[in-house]
Amino acid sequence: MIKVAVTGAAGRMGSGIIKKISELDDMEVVAAIEMPNTPLAGIDAGQKAGIDDIGVKITGSQDLRKTLESSEADVLVDFTIAHAAVETIKIATSCGVGVVVGTTGFSDEQMEENINNIENNNVPAVISSNMSIGVNVFFNTLKSLSQLLYDYDIEIIEAHHNQKKDAPSGTAMTAFEVIANELNRNPEEVGIFGRKGMVGKRTKEEIGLHAIRGGDIVGDHTVMFVGEGERIEFKHQAHTREVFIAGAIRAIRYIPNAKCGVVSSINDVLGIK
């Protein structure tokens, strides 16, 4: 039985993960964490997930270390926001707890700190900008398309709900990096994030990224390869957060047998080379 701690326990992803785990026989939720000094403290996490009580009370993240130690969690799952997740990962890894992280928006410095904490504390970890199985097939297919369509203009368009705080999405950024690396282009030099005004003629090297926010869009990602007289649009659409939850569950199952002190990707979880 895998003992799981969930941060952002009352959020969309957190409560969805708690609900899904309650249906499984090989793992259980042993800790549910929310923001510091949360007014939800003491409420059963099952109630916030829309299910029966599971016997796990929500606690504030100011008590994270104590909560992890008393619950004897094997893995902590984090789908929150970057600045909070950095501190969560620091504490969890120092407690010897493995981590599954789907949070996006980390700066390079924050990600470096995450990796250092994982390596220095020698714990297993999975970090992915998108836990969807389909999206990770999408990333791998982009490698082949980029090789074939290397001389086409490339633009990336992503759309998400109006509550998403970071832009472009972590998934769009991963797609961008996959394409740039495949084409031997420096991501620091070729990314164009939206356009306004007299920006000049498009260069052949640049890759455009554009973010749309509205309503309850779960997650749409389109990569356009535009040539002379034709274009190919390669798209992934998430219809429900269940696709991310399914990937997170696979990542949780992967943790007990994962290499310690190494940051694995969802590709490792899925066995995609």
Catalytically active residues, by annotation: 160, 164
Q: Is 198 annotated as a binding residue?
A: no
H/E element, 258: none
User: Could you give the dihedral angle defined by the CA atoms of residues 16, 20, 26 and 28, in that order, rounded to the nearest 10 degrees?
Assistant: 50
In this structure, the strands spanning 219-227 and 207-213 are unpaired
Q: Is 80 annotated as a binding residue?
A: no
Q: Is 22 annotated as a binding residue?
A: no
Q: Where are the beta strands (DSSP E) in the chain?
A: 2-7, 27-34, 58-60, 75-78, 98-101, 125-127, 153-160, 191-193, 207-213, 219-227, 230-238, 263-264
Q: Is 11 annotated as a binding residue?
A: yes
- Number of CB atoms found within 10 A of residue 232's CB: 13
Q: Is 129 annotated as a binding residue?
A: yes
d(CA 223, CA 114): 29
Q: Is 146 annotated as a binding residue?
A: no
Minimal CA–CA distance to 161: which of 243, 117, 103, 220? 220
DSSP secondary structure code for residue 240 in this structure: S
Please report, for residues 182, 190, 192, 257, the alpha-carbon distance to residue 186 in angstroms, rounded to integers and kept in the order given.
10, 6, 12, 35
Q: Is 240 annotated as a binding residue?
A: no
Q: Is 55 annotated as a binding residue?
A: no
Q: Is 170 annotated as a binding residue?
A: yes
Q: Is 12 annotated as a binding residue?
A: yes
Q: Is 247 annotated as a binding residue?
A: no
Q: Is 104 annotated as a binding residue?
A: yes
**Contacts with 9 (C-beta within 8 Å, 6 or more apart), sequence order:** 15, 18, 32, 33, 34, 45, 48, 58
Q: Is 13 annotated as a binding residue?
A: yes
Give yes or no for a cis peptide into 256 (omega within 30° of 0).
no
CA terminus-to-terminus distance, the chain:
29
Q: Is 113 annotated as a binding residue?
A: no
Q: Is 1 annotated as a binding residue?
A: no
Binding site listing for (S)-2,3,4,5-tetrahydrodipicolinate: 161, 170-171
Annotated binding site for NAD(+), which residues? 8-13, 34, 102-104, 128-131
Annotated binding site: 8-13, 34, 102-104, 128-131, 161, 170-171
